[in-house]
Structure 1
Amino acid sequence: MSTTLADRDGPPASAGRAPDRTRRLLSGVATALVSRAAGFLTPILTVPVTLPFLGKDLYGLWMAVASLSAMAAFADLGLGSGLMTKLAPCYAHGDTVRARRYISSAYLTLSLLAVFLTGLLWLLADAIPWVAVFNVTGQITPERTRLIALISLTAFVLNVPLSLIVRVQYAYQQVSWSNVWQTGGNLVGLVTVLGLVWADQSPILVIAASAAAPLLVNLVNTVWFFGRQRPQLRPRLGAVEAATARELIRLSGLFFLVTVVMSVATNADTLIIAHTLGLSSVAAFAVPAKLLAQVGLVAALVNVPLWPANGDALAQRQLDWVQRITRRMTIVSLLVAGLPAAAFVLLGDRLFAVWLPMPMDGDPWLLAGLGAWWVLQAGLSPRFMVQNAAGVIGPQLIGWAVFLALSTIGKWYGAEWLGVNAVPWVGAACYALTVAPAALCGYYRTLRRHRRIVTEEGSGEQLVVP
């Protein structure tokens, strides 16, 4: 179906000027830092309250279940990533009709998937050996283990289609608004959890409230965006088109594979430690890891706005802007991750002594390993954003697959022989050997491909890009 001018929305291609894009990017980065500051407050304020309230074993179980949920980030089948990549050119050219088709297809697919997975989870709940999965020992009963797992995993699955709103907002250059909503989600979860603990409510209720907060905030954000901001993009069953859905799913399938490998590789640490060293060691690892993860989340939030911005720039053939911003954002990412990581390494033991009401070792070697892990990822993130915007997935898929195999074996034996401190160091070393070369290879491949497109367009020849 052809698209008329009346079907178009947003800036035309000629209006996507680099200064406007840069300004939106800077605004997104600034609000990302504010959002992460609020997110950083969450573990700072909740861990000293929830750790003694739940106890080390129950807290360790909660973190292990959360890690399993994080591993299942691939449950969206890569549709979130594929959707953002496809929507960026729609925004650049003001194509509302095609954008609505992509959005409707993604929401329909993930909504049906969420209903199916939720039903399957509860149907098989009694058959899954939850105690063995999380290596539960001590006074935590099998019934409590099962209930915590079901509550956390159900909230995660239901949030899969609702979290698409973040991708849509990013693609439509509403990064600042999206960050405001995510900040609100962090604050809602923080206030709810602290209130329930101080009211001496059930530990199960505390965990359930923490799991439900992001889901509810995404629901309100979805209603607000499609009801007030962009009603012309509102998903409708009638807008689903088979050809558009197949196009989206083909690209999303590649993102799905990358996300599966990445999610398992980066979230296996707590499960490896649980099986090699026990749940008490999970708590010793999870608390500093949770703090240092905020460093990584800051770097991620700073860089994710690059994804749709690069998509807009590539659609308008502005390769100089892509290269210039990638260089600058690499420096910004290293500073954003490196400075707080160094502060944690230097002050970690004192921080834990003041911060937590129960003894917790802030080993500088563990903190340094976690810091090195996040700094490495931050430095390469801008180059991955260019590849994601162009749909170049192969190099990073190969890099992460090799990393998964190498790091899993290394972390297992490292934990057994050297203890918990070895886990992040093994991960950082394997990342430098596998994922880093893949990031550079994919980045230069993307630039070469788009230079070829510009050259062919300049000569007036027709070029078909696979």
Structure 2
Amino acid sequence: MLTRIASPLKFVQQFINQGQSRSIKAKKNIITSFLIKGVSISISLVLVPLTINYINPSRYGIWLTLSSIVGWFSFFDIGLTHGLRNKYAEAKANNDDSSVQMYISTTYAVLTIIFVSLWLIFLIINGFLDWASILKVPQDMKHEVSLLAMIVFTYFCAQFILRVVTTIAIADQQSAKSAMIDVLGQIISLIVIVVLVKTTKGSLINLGLALCLSPLLALISANILFFKGKYEKYRPKFSKINFSYAKGLFNLGLTFFIIQIAAVIQFESANIIIARNFGTSEVTSYNIVYKYFGMVTMLFTIFLTPFWSASTEAYAQRDFSWIKSSMKKYNLLNVLLFAVSLLMLVFSNYIYSLWLGKGKVDIGFWLSFWGFVYVSFTIFGSKYVNFLNGISALRLQFWTSIFSPVIYIAVAVLLIKYFKAGVASLFIASIIANLYGIIMAPIQYYQIIVKNKKGIWTK
């Protein structure tokens, strides 16, 4: 019996330890991340019905919509964390620990200045905002929603500074550690919400505090542990803040910044558009579908995350054969996940009822269908975009990102107002607006790696 158990374990160990060092590192992180994400998905599946039952679908839609509005402020990061990710990988590859520490210290300093300033401005103007009118909810909820907005915005600003540590872990090809931080926050949130369900009546404020404070506790703990352990030599210090290094972060980050704006508009405006055209209950339906098929995206992301920084290293060393081999494996994984997504679509109504409870949320087949199509296209393009981000070949993506938000909103409004396509309009609009990832990014990858072209393709 022990021999039979040992044989598969030995096979797994041999599989992990075969190949180049970056491949071995990636496989170890993928396997660990897979286990961690399994826990994350399980917690997410439990949290959604738990929070809906704690309040109700309409109030849950308010929470989602408000979170989306606050999420718009993410572009004030100006792409710094993405810039740090590439600069960290480059400096680390050159064994330049001093530059690594300066980039990290400067990133913390710049983000603190930006987001503390934003928080103080929001603190002043929040009292003048009529959130009841903005979200189209009853006026007697005005004070409650205003307080919730302050809680969410405070969380948002704090976590954006504290999450630099997760960027460092990912840049160091330690994506499993980043995932563990997020899961720890989810576990704390789940425990707190279970206690709230058992001891209190449904409250948006309690829900907001539970979902905001828990991740912050996990991030604070991670920052302390990381910089007292393996990353102690990179610990941010006031003496290591060098704003001349910010120029390098800004130069690369500015391109990511424009790309991020496009992403923020597309992903965060959906809930607002739905709330204003169909009501907050439909925000819940849309997000259920998004989360449901998003589990496939999450699964693919586990495998894809190490590829960014590994691509930076491989491309710098002109190791094209490793890049081609990796892309082939990702394509095979795409085919497998497409089949999984198709099965999820076929059984979606049954799983919704099992997951949320029969009759809790009404979700039509066509909303699920377009959610399936959207996720399939997103997964296909993401591996090419991830590679291009890793080698900083951003110009084509930059220019398409300028136009994609306009296309997204125009198509969404057209489908809603004139074609009466309903909530599914947001998925369709996202597909059309993301033609760079679906068409241009694969072509760009082919020109760089297969044809060995430079010029516009590598800029």
**Corresponding residue of 1:105:** 106
Indicate yes or no: 2:143 matched with 1:143: yes
**Corresponding residue of 1:419:** 422
Contact 2:162 2:220 in 1 (8 A): yes
Q: Distance in 2 between matches of 1:446 and 1:115?
A: 41
Q: Distance in 1 between matches of 2:241 and 2:450?
A: 34
CA RMSD of aligned residues (A): 2.4
After TM superposition, give the deviation of residue 229 of structure 1 in Å: 1.4
After TM superposition, give the deviation of residue 450 of structure 1 in Å: 7.5
Contact 2:384 2:445 in 1 (8 A): yes
Indicate yes or no: 2:410 matched with 1:409: yes
Q: TM-score, normalised by structure 2?
A: 0.88
1:392 is paired with a residue whose SS is coil
After TM superposition, give the deviation of residue 23 of structure 1 in Å: 1.1
Indicate yes or no: 2:349 matched with 1:349: yes
**Corresponding residue of 1:392:** 393
| Cα deviation 1:91-143 (Å, max 9, x = unaligned) | 22222111111111111101121211111111111122322332x22475111
Contact 1:302 1:333 in 2 (8 A): no
Q: Distance in 2 between matches of 1:347 and 1:450?
A: 44
Q: Any residues of structure 2 matched to 1:67-78 within 5 Å, and which?
A: 67-78=68-79
After TM superposition, give the deviation of residue 178 of structure 1 in Å: 2.2
Q: Distance in 2 between matches of 1:441 and 1:451?
A: 11
**Corresponding residue of 1:166:** 166
Contact 2:266 2:430 in 1 (8 A): no
**Corresponding residue of 2:248:** 247
User: Comparing 438-447 with 306-315, which one deviates more in the overlay?
Assistant: 438-447
After TM superposition, give the deviation of residue 451 of structure 1 in Å: 7.0
Contact 1:334 1:378 in 2 (8 A): no
Q: Percent identity?
A: 20
| Cα deviation 1:146-202 (Å, max 9, x = unaligned) | 111111121011111111111101122222222222222222222222222222254
Q: Distance in 1 between matches of 2:452 and 2:222?
A: 35
2:347 is paired with a residue whose SS is helix
**Corresponding residue of 1:456:** none
| Cα deviation 1:223-276 (Å, max 9, x = unaligned) | 111111111111112222243221121111111111111111122221111111
Contact 2:101 2:234 in 1 (8 A): yes
2:423 is paired with a residue whose SS is coil
After TM superposition, give the deviation of residue 59 of structure 1 in Å: 0.9
Contact 2:374 2:431 in 1 (8 A): yes
1:105 is paired with a residue whose SS is helix
Q: Any residues of structure 2 matched to 1:77-88 within 5 Å, and which?
A: 77-88=78-89
Indicate yes or no: 2:219 matched with 1:221: no
Q: Distance in 2 between matches of 1:296 and 1:139?
A: 38
Contact 1:310 1:389 in 2 (8 A): yes
After TM superposition, give the deviation of residue 39 of structure 1 in Å: 2.3
1:305 is paired with a residue whose SS is helix
> 1:152–1:294: structure 2 CA closer, same or farther, 3 Å change rule?
farther
**Corresponding residue of 1:188:** 188
**Corresponding residue of 1:260:** 261
> 1:355–1:349: structure 2 CA closer, same or farther, 3 Å change rule?
same
Q: Distance in 2 between matches of 1:330 and 1:189?
A: 36
Indicate yes or no: 2:32 matched with 1:31: yes
**Corresponding residue of 2:276:** 275
Q: Any residues of structure 2 matched to 1:288-307 within 5 Å, and which?
A: 288-307=289-308
User: Comparing 77-86 with 281-290, which one deviates more in the overlay?
Assistant: 281-290
After TM superposition, give the deviation of residue 71 of structure 1 in Å: 3.4
Q: Distance in 2 between matches of 1:121 and 1:445?
A: 46
Contact 2:72 2:264 in 1 (8 A): yes
Q: Distance in 1 between matches of 2:356 and 2:442?
A: 41
| Cα deviation 1:59-98 (Å, max 9, x = unaligned) | 1100101222333332322111000111112222222111
Aligned amino acid, residue 311 of structure 1: T
Q: Distance in 2 between matches of 1:35 and 1:140?
A: 42
Q: Distance in 1 between matches of 2:148 and 2:174?
A: 35
Indicate yes or no: 2:33 matched with 1:19: no
Q: Distance in 2 between matches of 1:221 and 1:422?
A: 40
Aligned amino acid, residue 439 of structure 2: P
| Cα deviation 1:420-445 (Å, max 9, x = unaligned) | 233313322443x4442331344346
Q: Distance in 2 between matches of 1:450 and 1:114?
A: 42
Q: Distance in 2 between matches of 1:73 and 1:326?
A: 30
Contact 1:402 1:434 in 2 (8 A): no
Contact 1:387 1:446 in 2 (8 A): no
Q: Which runs of 5+ in 2 are unaligned?
A: 1-17
